[in-house]
Amino acid sequence: MTASPQPPGCTPEVLPRQNTGMVELLTMPGPYKETDLTERVEAFLSDLKRGGTGAGPLRGSAETARETTALLRKITAQARWSSAGDLMEIIRKDGRRMTAAQPSETTVGNMIRRVLKIIREEYARSRGSSEEADQESLHKLLTSGGLSEENFRQPFALLKSNVIEAINELLTELEGTTDNIAMQALEHIHSNEVIMTIGRSRTVEAFLKDAARKRKFHVIVAECAPFCQGHEMATNLSKAGIETTVITDAAIFAVMSRVNKVIIGTQTVLANGGLRAINGTHTLALAAKHHSTPLIVCAPMFKLSPQFPNEEDTFHKFVSPHEVLPFTEGEILSKVNVHCPVFDYVPPELITLFISNIGGHAPSYIYRLMSELYHPEDHEL
Amino acid sequence: IDNSISLLDQMKKDPDMASAVAAIRTLLEFLKRDKGETILGLRESLTSATDCLTGVDSSVAVSSGGELFLRFISLTSLEHQDLSRCKKVMEERGELFLEKISMSRTKVAKLCHTFIKDGAKILTHSYSRVVLRVLEKAAAEKKRFSVYVTESQPDAAGQHMAEALRKLNVPVTVVLDAAVGYVLEKVDLVIVGAEGVVESGGIINKIGTYQMALCSKAHNKPFYVVAESFKFVRLYPLNQQDVPDKFKYKADTLKTAKNLSEEHPIIDYTPPSLITLLFTDLGVLTPSAVSDELIKLYL
């Protein structure tokens, strides 16, 4: 069935997804819906490729998460599948393409894994078996009867609507994350405190603005060269009536002795409790540790990723070095190598507390949250 | 009981089998031959069999294997009231369990080898079959790495490890136990096995492991532990003295020595604060996740 027009530069992978061999199926959307879906996926992919420039992505992580989930809901509704196993294959295939388009945007992969877990849960619920049956544990090793081969092949009529309902719940949760985090601000920020932050994080901005409604405190923002997003953050905070100071990254250590708390956002939370955050964060964390200043990370749950900080090839992202050394400095450029890395790794020992939309956690608890959100077999898409 | 001991010796002849697996296999055989009439009697005879086994080989692994088997018996006996049916189910599940745990080393190797990069220099301690399997897998994935092994006195087990690694065409250097601090600046990561993983997330392993962990912490090198899940034990040592004497010395030493304080212990305890990650067949765990697993099993 080659009804869909091939978008230019499209890999042949598009066709196999449609010819999943399920021709004898009941759900048969017309060719018009198929092309519409393919177009949406392609548009999303090219958006991803362009979007995350690293100079502050053109879209925030929350929007990426929402768009990914909405797209997955559309795929569930419109693609052809008869059993949970087929749907999971389709989502995995599309998921792999999406994560390959922009590997540093981990929220895409996280949302895909959440949806896969939802599908597993709904399937288990329809079958009547408990969801615990899937978790690997020593207990399960001892008590299980046969080698359980879950291949998700049983078709259920209500599975589609259940999955879509669960995805809708997930979307509602995503919409409320920033507010949920901001609601906890008053417990952590007290009057006359000096708070330090780095760069621009929408979550931290909302967090501080919420506390500012009732408390008076002072914020020091490290500008985070070379993108200098700190300037935008400082402007927004001062518009909300908070006393703000901007400092250069080099001054972080010097000023740290006067700071009560450090509150930062992050791009990703890794499986061992470490962070992948904007460059300069590791320096900030080390300075805070040296002065025994608590480091608080405001990160919503969709940023939690099952990766460990050792797969070097997907780790670092470099952007054009013209931010560091403009191309006009021609003479130097021929003699020197210039790099502009975007992210930093912060080890879990330097972090005091994670504040997420479900509450506050210690970094050593991250493994537990991971097992609740994702299934171990989905760690590798 | 004598049968069990001879069985255990037989199992030991297969050098690739973990001691805990050999213990569990022996206990399963014992279970098959048991003529008792009650579950309580069964438990008692199994307990005495385990005591016998630890009398032959006093390592932590055998003790943890025995305890796991007892737990397995109690969990199964809760489900069936009739003894003969219960025994049949136990035997089936026991075989299945043995099958699963024989695959656990492969699972661990699959998880761990991605953490070994091309050109990495690895430091390991003494002879560990799990570490060997991990390095085999990494070599099979065409990664180039070199290994430093400590000699690990008093039994020079490190030489054995070096032999095995040379057969895999991995460049290996044997260093003195005292040279760990000296060699750590060249090393990228440290991987060790474990005889037992305790509730706090720390490990019990050949003497010298604690030193290695302290030095790697001082040099900021990652310290990885690879262990199968059946090595988890219900111990919570707070320091080296807390580890029970019956594990610290070989079984023969325990029987013959007059004054234990003059004997050299063969194992030590490494606290969880020095361990970066644990690779088990249940997944990659941080030390704090270990107690969770134990609670799920025993409570």
Among A134, A139, A366, A379, the strongest candidate for a mutation testing the B interface, having the largest count of B CBs within 10 A, is: A139
Task: State mean pLDDT over B213-233.
Answer: 91
Least confident of A154-163, A181-190, A345-354: A154-163
Do the chains contact at B297 and A138, CB–CB below 8 Å?
Answer: yes
Residues 6 or more apart whose Cβ sits within 8 Å of residue A250: none
pLDDT band at B191 (very low <50, low <70, confident <90, very high): very high
Of the partner residues A137, A141, A364, the one whose CB lies closest to the CB of residue B288: A364
Whether residues B277 and A308 touch (CB distance < 8 A) is answered with: yes
Q: What is the pLDDT of residue A326?
A: 79
Where in chain B does DSSP place strands (E)?
120-125, 145-150, 172-175, 189-192, 196-197, 203-206, 223-226, 267-270, 277-280, 283-285
- A141–chain B Cβ distance below 8 A for any pair: yes
Q: What are B15-30's pLDDT values in tens digits?
A: 777 777 888 888 888 8
Nearest residue to B209 via CA among B132, B124, B133, B134? B124
pLDDT on residue B252: 75
Q: Give the closest residue to A79 by CA, choosing from A44, A34, A142.
A: A34
Q: Which two tokens stand for residue B161?
A: 């490890």
Which ranges of A217-334 does DSSP label H, i.e. alpha helix? Answer: 229-239, 252-255, 281-290, 330-333
- Residue B114, chain A, CB below 8 Å: the answer is yes
Q: Mark residue B169 as left, alpha or beta (left: phi above 0; alpha: psi -120 to 50; beta: remaining).
A: left
Comparing C-alpha atoms, which of A102, A36, A104 is closest to residue A74?
A36
d(CA A304, CA A321): 29
CA distance B201 to B205: 13
Whether the CB-CB separation of A203 and A298 falls below 8 Å is answered with yes
Q: Is residue B282 less than 8 Å (CB to CB) from chain A?
A: yes
Widest pairwise Cα distance in chain A: 73
Instruction: Supply A212's token pair.
Output: 């500012």
**Do B83 and B34 touch, CB atoms closer than 8 A?**
no
- The two beta strands, A243-247 and A218-222, are parallel
Query: Which residues in chain B are closer than 8 Å to A365, comparing Cβ atoms?
Result: 288
Residue among B71, B117, B288 minimizing CB distance to A142: B71
What mean pLDDT comes out for the span B61-67?
A: 81
Contact residues, A window 249-278, toward B, CB-based 8 Å cutoff: 271-273
CA distance B228 to B108: 7
Looking at residue A354, what is its pLDDT? 95
Q: How far is A163 from chain B (nearest CA, A)?
A: 28
Chain B residues touching A271 at Cβ < 8 A: 284
Above 50 in pLDDT, residue A282? yes
Cα B21 from chain centre: 10
pLDDT at position A375, please? 86
- Between residues A218 and B232, the one the model is more confident about: A218
Q: How many CB atoms lie within 10 A of CB B216?
A: 24
Contact A308 B289 (CB under 8 A): no
What pLDDT is stored for residue A135 in this prediction? 52
A141, A286, A371: best mutation site toward chain B, by most B Cβ within 10 Å?
A141
More confident site: B148 or A101:
B148
**CA-based nearest distance A139→chain B, Å:** 5
Question: What pLDDT score was predicted for residue A138?
Answer: 59
- Helix H or strand E segment including A182: helix A159-183
A367 touches chain B (CB under 8 A): yes
Asked if B288 reaches chain A (Cβ–Cβ under 8 Å), the answer is: yes
Residue A135 C-alpha, separation from nearest chain B C-alpha, in angstroms? 9
d(CA B17, CA B23): 10
- Residue contact B115–A368, C-beta within 8 A: no
Phi, psi of A247 (to 5 degrees): -130, 165
Residue B268, token pair as written in the block:
């030590």
The Cα–Cα gap between A280 and B15 comes to 51
pLDDT digits (tens, 9 = 90+) for A309-358: 765 544 577 888 877 887 777 777 778 888 888 888 899 999 999 999 88
Residue of A306, A357, A356 whose CA lies nearest to A173: A357
| Paired strand residues for B145 | B120
Sheet of B203-206: strands edge to edge? B196-197, B203-206, B267-270
Residues of A in contact with B96 (CB under 8 A): 144, 146-147
Separation between Cα atoms, residue A190 and residue A167, nearest integer Å: 38
Per the prediction, chain A carries an average pLDDT of: 81
How do A353-356 and A343-346 pair as beta strands? unpaired
Measured CA to CA, the distance from residue B210 to residue B159 in angstroms comes to 20
* Chain A residues inside the 8 Å CB shell of B72: 142-143
Mean pLDDT of A62-86: 86
- Residue A57 pLDDT greater than 70, yes or no: no
Stretch among A175-184, B66-75, B114-123, B125-134 having the lowest mean pLDDT = B66-75
Amino acid at site B136: E
Closest Cα partner for B110 from B138, B82, B132? B138
Of A138, A311, A312, the CB nearest to B232: A138
Distances in Å between the Cα of B198 and the Cα atoms of A56, B79, B237 are 45, 29, 8
* Amino acid found at A199: G
ipTM exceeds 0.90, yes or no: no
The rounded mean pLDDT for chain B is 85
pTM strictly above 0.90: no
Taking a C-beta distance cutoff of 8 angstroms, is the pair A141, A85 a contact? no
Per-position DSSP letters for B257-293, written without gaps between them: -S-GGGSPPSEEEE-GGG--EEEETTEEE-HHHHHHH
